Chains A and B, each alone.
Chain A
Amino acid sequence: MSSSLILRAEGIDKSYPGVHALDHVDFDLFEGEIHVLLGENGAGKSTFMKILSGSLPKDSGRITLRGQEVEILNPHHAWELGIGMVYQELSLIPSTSVAENIFLGRLPKRKPLGTVDWAETFSRARNILDDLGVDIDPRQRVRDLSMGERQLTEIAKALSMNVQILLLDEPTSALSEEERERLFHILRGLQEKGVAVIYVSHRLAEVPQIGQRVTVLRDGKKIGTLPVEQADEATLIRMMVGRELGEQFPKTEVPRGRELLRIRGLTVEGMLHDLNLTLHEGEILGIFGLLGSGRTPFARVLFGVDRMDSGEIFVDGNKVEISSPAEAIELGFGYLTEDRKEGLIPHLSIPANITLASLKQICQLGFLKHSEERQAAEKYVRELGIHTPKLHQRVEFLSGGNQQKVALAKWLCSRSKILIFDEPTRGIDVGAKAEVFRLMNDLAGQGVGIIMLSSELPEVLAMADRILVMAGGSFTAEFARGQGTQEDLMRYAVVR
C-alpha cells in the first residue's frame, strides 16, 4: 500500500456487563482505502464503529490519527477530527426536509439576527446531492423518501461535513441492487479524493466489489486482515463463523401439494395493478422486485394491514375477505415484516412475543396459560437456535438475527399455512441466513406455502420454486425454477 496510514487503533477493549464486546482489537486504515469490516451479529463491529465515532467510550487501547494519539470524546468531536459515521439505524428526522437533515445543527445562518438562510440551505444541499449523483429534491420531507433514499441522504449528511474517514454501518442492507451500484460508484469517487472508508457489511459478495482489504471480527476478537484478492467467500465464512458452513442456500425439493391461495385481480388504485397468483402447499413462491416495485404494499394488502380497492382472494378454494391482520391470521396467514421493529414488541419478553399472534390459543377464558406459553417458547428457542441468556429476556436486548428468529417463531407458533416473508434475510448474518433458509425448507416440507418477497437475486433464484418479477406495481414476468438467469429477472424488474 503506497498511500499513508491515516488511522491506527491498537488494543481496543470494551466490556459490557457479561459481554466482552471487544477484546484487544487492532485495526489500521490507509488514505483512500475502503476497508471492509466483516463479522456475524454480536461480533463487535458496531461497538468498534461506535468507539471510533465517539458515541461509546473505550475501556482501554490507543487510537492514533495521522500519527497523533487522540481521545475521541463524543460524536461532535469525531466530526471535528474528520470522522463521520452513517448509522445502521437511520438517524434522520422524518418530519423535516432532506436539506434540514443534511445540515442538522449547523444550518446556514443569515446575519444579523441569526435566522436560517433557507435559500442557502437548499442550494447547498442541492450541490451535495448533485455531487453524489443523487436525484432527491432537498425540499422533500424525509418521511416521504424510500429506505434507499434515506440512506443516501444520510451519506450526503456525512459528506457535507468534509470527513476524511467515513464509517458506514451496513449501508446496503436497505438498498436495491440499483441503488447499491450507485452507492459503490459514489464510494469509489470519494476514494479518489482520498477519503478512507470503513465499511461494515454482512454481504460477502460485496467484499471484492468494493474493498481493498477486509478485517474479520468474531466474538469481539480480530480474526485477521486480508487483501481482498486472498479473501474468497469460503475463507471469509470460515473466518466469520469459525466452522465450515454447508451450502449457503440449501434448497430441498418438495412435491407441490394442492392449491392454498389464489389471488385474482388484486388492485389498489395508483399502486398495485391487477395482480394474479396462486400458491400451493409446499411451494416457495419468490416475488422479486426492486425498491418501490410494490412488494411491501402487496404483502400489507394481502395480510389485511391495508385495504385493497378490488380483487378476489381464495384460501383453500373459498373466497375470503381479509380486512384486518386478525382475520388474515385466522385464515392461516403469517407475515414476517421487512422491518423487524414492525414485528416485535421490544419491551416484552421472548415468550410474550412468540405467543403474541396466538393469544387466543394460549388463553383459557381470557387467562394466560403461563406454563404452556413457556413450553412453546422453550420449544422455539431450542428449534430455531435463539441465543439468549435467559428465556424471559426482553427482545430489545437480542441481536438482529435472534430478533428475526423470534419474529419467525411467532408465526410458527400461530401455525401459519401461508407465510409471507418480506426480505427475510435483511440485516442478518451468514450463519443466521443459512438457518432461515433451512427453516423455510423445513416449513415447505411440512406443507406450508411460502411467499418470499426479496430484492436479493441469488437468494430468490436459489430458494424459490417459481419466481414472479414485480415492477411498478405489476407482475411483469414468471419463471419456473431454473428457467431465468439473474439478467433475465433484472430485465423484467426494471421495465415500467
Chain B
Amino acid sequence: MKRILYIILSIIFLTICLKACIKRDIPPKERLNNRILKTDVTFKFPQESRNVVLGGVDYLQSQAPVGKFGGEMVVSTIGEGPKTFNPFTSKDAVSSSMSGLMFDSLFTISPNDGKVIPKLAKSYETKDGKKYIVHLRQGIKWSDGKPITADDVVFTWNKIILAGLGNTSTRDAVVIDGKLPKVTKIDNYTVKFEILKPFSPFIRLISVQIAPKHIFEPVTKQGARAFDMFYSTNTKPDNFVTSGAFRLKEYKAAQRVVFERNSDYYMLNKKNQKLPYLDKIIYLIVGDLNNEILKFEGHEIDVISLRGSNVAPYKIKEADSDYKIYNLGADTGTMFVAINLNPRRNSENKFYVDPKKQYWFSDKDFRTAIDYALDRKNMVQNIANGLAKPLFTAESLNSIFLNTKIKGHERNLKKAKEVLINAGFKYGNNKKLYDKFGNRVEFDLYTNAGNTEREAIGVMVKQDLEDLGMRVNFKPVEFNTLVNKMTTTFDWDMIIMGLTGSPLEPHDGLNVWHSKGSLHLFNQRTEDDKKDDRFTFEKRLDEIFESAALQTTFASRKKLYDEYQQIVYDEKPFIYLYSPVRMVAVRKKFRNIYPSQLLGITYNIEEIYKDKY
C-alpha cells in the first residue's frame, strides 16, 4: 500500500518535471496598449498673490481658483522625523520644512522664476544693493494674539541669528569681508538691513523665519544650551506661538506629526475667505523608500516622489487610478565620481595619497580618460530606468545658471585609451594599464554601503575603468566612515558621492569649490594647511566665487558662473554622472496643484484644497 503511494507520488513528480521542460514556442500577439496619460514637463502657474488691505489689515490674496474648505492631506517623511520644531536650531531638511510650516519667513521665492516675493513681509525696496528697507504687514498676529511687528524682526536678527545662537549657517552666509549686516527698526512696521557692499544673495538670505520676541526673549537670555533645547519635539503643542498657516497638533515619535489649520492666517482667497483650505496636514514618518511606496499603494499617503524603476508600474495604472503623476524635471542633486588630488602630507608626515597614485590623479589626461570611459547612457538606462539625464556640469540641470554650452560627450573607449597612451601610460600583456614608471594602475573606489543606487553605479564604474585596463577595488563602506575619510583622514582615491545644490544660487556651492571650503573634497585642506599650494584652476575658482557674489546683475554673474562650470568640466576634479528626473504622484482629489521645478509640489499648501474625485 505504502509502496504504491510512493510510486504514484514519484510519477506525479516526474510528470511535473517533464511538463516544466516542455515548452512550446508561440510568438505572442501584439497587444494594444492601455490608455497612457502623457506626462509632460510643462508648468503653469496662477497669477502671483497680491497684497490687499481689508479693515486695516495687510492681507496676502491668493489668485488661485477658489476651493472648498476642510479635509486633510497625508504626506510622508523618510527617516526619523523632525529633530526639533525650532526653525533657528534645525539642521536637517525635515525639521526645517516642518518648522517652515509653523513659522513664516519674510519672503519666499516664486515657483515660476525663483524671484523673491512677499510672504510675512509686505514688500522690500533697495536702491544701491546695500540698504534694504523691509515693510511688514499691519494687523497680522502671532497665534497667541500678539501683533507681529518690527521688534520681532530686529530681535530675531540681532539676538538670535547674528548672536550666533542655534544653527549659524545663515550668520555664516551673511558675513561679508568679516562684517555682519546691521539691522535696525525704523518704525513699528519697517526694518532696515545694511551691508557694506552689494551682495546679490543677500535678499534671499534675509528672508528667513521670524521668531516671536515675547516668547523667545527669555530663552535667549539663558544661553545657547537652553536655546538649543527650546521648542524641541517634546514641547507641548499648545505651547507653540507661531505665524504659519499650520500649527502643531500632535507629535508621536517615529510615527507621525500632525498639523492643524491656523484659523487666523493672513492669506485670503479671491472671495476674501481666510486660507488655508485644509484642516490638517499629517506627516507619516516612514523608515525607507520601500515603506513609503507600500503606504502609497495602501492608500495611507496622498503624495509620493517616485524614482527610476518605481515610476513605470504607476504610470501604467495611472489612467484608471486615483492619482496623477507630475514630472518635475531634473533633480537638484548631482552625482559624481570625485578624484583625490590632495598632494599634502598628514601630521605624521605621510602622504594622504600614495605619491604614485598622486602622479596619475594629478594628470588631467588621466581624469579625461576616465571621463570618456564612463558609460552614462547605461547608468541612466539601468539604474534610473531611463528617468535621468547624463550630467557633465557642476550645476544641477534645473539651475538658472546652468552653462548650456557644455554639451558633454558619449562613451568613447578608443579616445580614452588614446589620451592615456599620449600621456605616457602603457598597455602590457592582458591589456593591463601601467604608468610610465611601470606601476600597475590600481586604486580604490568608495561609496556608501546600503544605497542600492550608488552600489550599482559603483559596479558599473569599476567595469568601465577595468575596460581601460585599470584595476579598481570597489569598496562600499558605511556612510559615516566615508564622511570621515572625506573630511578628516583624506585617505581615499576615488569616491562616488552626491551633493544637493540650489537651482537658484550657485554661491551655495562656495564650501565645495572654494579652496578653503569645508567640502572641498578633491583637495581638502585642514586649518593648519597655511601654505598656498592651490592648483591654477583652484585659484581661478576662488576668484570667481569671491567676485560673483558681489556682482549685481544676472548677466555678469552668469558669465562668471559659466566660466566656473567650464573649468570644472575641463579640469574634472569631479566627474559628473547623471541627474535623476523627479516624478511625483498626487491623488487627484487635491486641487490647486501647481508643480514647480524649483519648489516641488506642496509649496503652496495654503491654496491646495480637497475635492471629490
A, B in one complex: no
Residue positions of B touching A, CB distance < 8 A:
none
